[in-house]
Structure 1
Amino acid sequence: MKIIKDWRFWVCVVSVTALGLLSGIFAINAQEYYKVLMIPVFAPPAWLFGPVWVLLYILMGITFYLILTTKDQQQRMTMISLFIAQFMLNFIWSGLFFTAQNNLLSVIDISILWIILFIQQAYYMKNKPLLMWLMGPYFLWITFASVLNYSILFLN
């Protein structure tokens, strides 16, 4: 496994995971806010979010490594742009939802995030199918999270 011996692989996986988890730290009063919300019956238990996000960030870190090591410069730059855009929207969502407690802004953010992820997945399907599969669970989770976020907006 040549990839696993490449130090850049580990830097990408650890950095993306750490940055992703950092967004959770900025989610001030997350548990308290989530407890007072009216949530739909299909909402998963609060304890499930942490492990799911760790796994998703690891997959995102692997994806980022594969993006950075792509030979075609134009493809690499396009993929980096899409990756950074979705990562930033993902990062600020926690602050909008938990810290600002603004369900409307968090719905707008996650909607834009979903659109960018859809574009990203379509690009990967055409150019780098492995990346589409690596980011597939994240895309599905954001799709579910979007439905959950919209439901919370309407219930509250």
Structure 2
Amino acid sequence: MDVKLREVQPFSVSGLQVRTCNADEQQADSARIGPMWERFFVEGLFDSIGHRQSDSFIYGVYSNYESDASGHFDVTAGVAVGEGNADYPLVQVQGGEYLAFSAKGPMPDVVIQTWGLVWAYFEDNPQVRRRFATDFEVYTGPESVSLYIGIQASDELSRSSN
């Protein structure tokens, strides 16, 4: 797995949205993220969401955090858009510093494994603090994903990444 510090400019994503928490996602009867993604692909929403930017990837955006990784948050499965539309919720991805964790492999297993590595990274590196504002997954190919985790600005991290 590859981890890089990236500066991200703000952008907008529109698509399906659910509110959940990590504890609910551990139980099949309360998990909401998997069914949302299934609907996204079954209904072919990549091509039907209005105002989609022509060069958009598929995004999974985590936003509206109640607190930290233990609280509720929104997840949006969608595409980058130039403006909102009435059919789907719009979420603004905040600009700023993000750690990008890139991985390749069969979906959705590689995404689940990479989230495990993200949690382990922050546990092993307490000096790097998550913002819990917006985080996102970008699907750059059928077996390629990058997880962007918003972090608080850190001079120490910036020096060590150069």
TM-score by length of 2: 0.26
Query: More helix by proportion, 1 or 2?
Result: 1
Q: TM-score, normalised by structure 1?
A: 0.27
More strand by share: 2
